[in-house]
Amino acid sequence: MFGWTGKILRINLSEKSVGVEDLNPKLAQDYIGARGLGAKIFADEVDPKVDSFSPDNKLIFATGPLTGTNAVSAGRYNVITKAPLTGTIAASNSGGYFGAELKYAGYDLIVFEGKADQPVYLFIKDELVELRSAAHVWGKTTFETDDILREETCPE
């Protein structure tokens, strides 16, 4: 599958589990792009009646086939979930390094499901994927949290 890593990273916060599954090539072809693919997976897996803040809702980070390439705007990724205001599928996109780095780590999408019983963050470095405690940064400012997590995860 040109443009795809072929892997979905699935994070179950309730079970504190991390899993990897294969991306269906037909889905990647039929719903090309981060928004289309993410919305299709969301629609297939989430009951339309679910409350936006329910652990049964999902949060999907999706890249497209050009993410991480030299194509114009290829650093973008989409975030798909159920919007609390409208009760419909919400999709937003962002730029920066995250989309490309996710692809370089070997994943096309991250699907978060469930609810953590304590604050956690997702650590990804190449093939290492871990849910780590974020209790020590709970209540800190964004700048403080950034400094602390950078020191923990990439001290060099």
Going by pLDDT thresholds of 50, 70 and 90, the confidence category of residue 85 is very high
- pLDDT tens column, 22-61: 999 999 999 989 999 999 999 999 999 999 999 999 999 9
Unique residue bearing structure tokens 């996710």: 102
**Confidence (pLDDT) at 19:** 97
CA distances from 29 to 32, 82, 104, 137 (A): 5, 24, 20, 41
User: Which structure tokens are listed for 10?
Assistant: 């699935």
**Confidence (pLDDT) at 127:** 85
Q: What is the DSSP string of 57-98?
A: SEEEEE--TTTTSSSTTTT-EEEEEE-TTTSSEEEEEE-SSH
Going by pLDDT thresholds of 50, 70 and 90, the confidence category of residue 72 is confident
Rounded distance between C-alpha atoms, residue 105 and residue 68, angstroms? 11
